[in-house]
C-alpha cells in the first residue's frame, strides 16, 4: 500500500520543480510598444514556462522608476537618451544593449479636420491646441519638439502645446476631439480608428527614432531576461513588429 504514495509524490515534486524554474520576467517598456509587446509576450508564454509582465509608460518615468530600484529585468526605451542616463549610472548590463526598432512621427487629427495637411498648417490661428508628449519626459514629445525646431516652427506652436503623460495619452486626447491635432508615432496612429493621419514625416527627415533594449543590472534572473531579449529578434516577433508598422533594425542577441 505504501508504495502507491510514491508516484503521486514524484509528480507533485516534478510540478513543483517546473514551477520553481518558471521565472516571472518584468519588462519596463515605452508606451508605444503596448500592443505589440502584449502580443509578443503572449506568444512567448506559449513557447516557454516563463511568464512576462509589462510596465508600460513614457520612457522618462520608467527610467526614474528603475533608478529608484523598481524590479525590472528589461528596459525598452523609445529613445537613446533615457538608456544613456541609466547606462551612465551603471544600471544597464554592459553589452546587452541594442537598438532594435525604429519608428516614424505622424500628425494626427480628429476625423472631422479639413484644414491641417502639413506641419506648417499647425501654425494657423485656427489651430488652437496641439497635443504632444511632454517634451521633458516623453520621448515622442522630445522628438516632436526636435522636429518643430528643425522646421523652425517651434516658437509658433509652443504656446499651443498640451503636454501629455505618454504617447498613448496624446492619441487618446486627439480621439476625444478636445485638441486640433497631435503628434504620435505611426504605429500608435495605426491602433486607433478614431484619428486621421494627415501627415507622415518622410524617412530621412525629422529626428532619428530608435528603441534601445537592455538588461537591467538589478535583475535577479538575468538568464530569463536574456532569453526574452533574444526572442524579441525571433522571426515571429519581427513579423509582429513589422506588421504593426515598426522598422526592425538589428536583431538583439543575434550572432
Partner 1 sequence: MTGDDWQLMSFSARMAAASTLLILPPGVALAWLLARKNWRGKVVVETFVALPLVLPPVVTGLVLLKFFGRRGPVGHWLHDQLGLEIIFTWRAVVLALAVMSFPLLVRTLRAAIEEVNPSLEQMARTLGAGPWRVFFTITLPLAKRGLFAGTLLAFARALGEFGATIMVAGNIPGRTTTLAVSIYQSVELGEDSHALLLAGLSASLAFAALLAAGLLQGGKR
Provide the binding-site residues for partner 1, judged by CB under 8 A: 58, 60-61, 63-64, 67, 128-129, 134, 136-137, 161-165, 176-179
If the CB atoms of residues 32 and 187 are measured against partner 1, the closer one turns out to be 32
If the CB atoms of residues 63 and 93 are measured against partner 1, the closer one turns out to be 63
Q: Nearest distance from residue 61's CB to partner 1, in Å?
A: 5
Q: Nearest distance from residue 58's CB to partner 1, in Å?
A: 8
Give Cα 251 to chain centroid, integer Å. 17
Q: Nearest distance from residue 24's CB to partner 1, in Å?
A: 26
The CB density around residue 40, as the number of other CB atoms within 10 Å, is 25
Q: What is the 3-state secondary structure (H, E, C) of 157-200?
A: HHHHEEEECCHHHHHHHHHHCCCCEEEEEHHHHCCCCCCEEEEE
Q: How far is CA 230 from CA 109, 138, 143, 239, 246, in A?
A: 37, 26, 28, 14, 18
Give Cα 191 to chain centroid, integer Å. 14
Q: Nearest distance from residue 136's CB to partner 1, in Å?
A: 6
Rounded CA-CA distance 164/213 in Å is 24
Q: Nearest distance from residue 60's CB to partner 1, in Å?
A: 6
If the CB atoms of residues 137 and 144 are measured against partner 1, the closer one turns out to be 137
Contact 75, 86 (CB under 8 A): yes
If the CB atoms of residues 50 and 79 are measured against partner 1, the closer one turns out to be 79
If the CB atoms of residues 165 and 188 are measured against partner 1, the closer one turns out to be 165
Q: Nearest distance from residue 162's CB to partner 1, in Å?
A: 5
Sheet holding 181-185, edge to edge: 161-164, 130-133, 181-185, 105-109, 196-200
In three-state secondary structure terms, 75 is: strand
If the CB atoms of residues 108 and 244 are measured against partner 1, the closer one turns out to be 108
Query: What residues form DSSP beta bridges with 26?
Result: 53
Q: Nearest distance from residue 144's CB to partner 1, in Å?
A: 16
Contact 133, 150 (CB under 8 A): no
If the CB atoms of residues 133 and 212 are measured against partner 1, the closer one turns out to be 133
Amino acid at each position: 500500500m505504501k508504495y502507491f504514495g510514491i508516484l503521486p509524490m514524484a509528480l507533485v515534486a516534478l510540478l513543483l520543480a517546473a514551477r520553481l524554474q518558471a521565472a516571472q520576467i518584468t519588462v519596463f517598456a515605452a508606451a508605444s510598444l503596448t500592443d505589440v509587446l502584449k502580443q509578443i509576450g503572449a506568444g512567448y508564454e506559449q513557447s516557454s514556462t516563463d511568464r512576462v509582465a509589462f510596465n508600460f509608460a513614457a520612457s522618462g518615468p520608467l527610467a526614474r522608476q528603475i533608478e529608484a530600484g523598481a524590479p525590472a529585468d528589461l528596459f525598452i526605451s523609445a529613445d537613446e537618451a533615457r538608456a544613456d542616463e541609466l547606462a551612465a549610472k551603471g544600471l544597464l548590463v554592459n553589452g546587452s544593449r541594442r537598438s532594435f526598432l525604429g519608428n516614424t512621427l505622424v500628425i494626427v487629427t480628429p476625423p472631422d479636420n479639413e484644414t491641417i495637411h502639413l506641419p506648417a498648417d499647425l501654425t494657423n490661428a485656427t489651430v488652437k491646441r496641439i497635443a504632444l508628449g511632454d517634451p521633458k519626459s516623453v520621448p515622442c514629445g522630445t522628438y516632436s519638439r526636435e522636429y518643430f525646431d528643425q522646421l523652425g516652427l517651434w516658437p509658433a506652436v509652443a504656446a499651443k502645446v498640451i503636454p501629455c503623460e505618454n504617447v498613448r495619452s496624446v492619441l487618446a486626447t486627439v480621439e476625444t476631439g478636445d485638441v486640433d491635432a497631435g503628434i504620435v508615432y505611426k504605429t500608435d496612429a495605426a491602433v486607433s480608428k478614431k484619428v486621421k493621419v494627415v501627415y507622415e514625416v518622410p524617412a530621412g527627415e525629422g529626428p532619428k527614432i530608435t528603441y534601445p533594449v537592455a538588461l537591467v543590472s538589478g535583475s535577479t534572473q538575468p538568464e530569463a531576461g536574456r532569453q526574452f531579449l533574444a526572442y524579441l529578434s525571433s522571426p515571429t516577433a519581427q513579423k509582429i513588429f513589422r506588421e504593426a508598422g515598426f522598422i526592425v533594425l538589428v536583431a538583439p542577441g543575434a550572432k
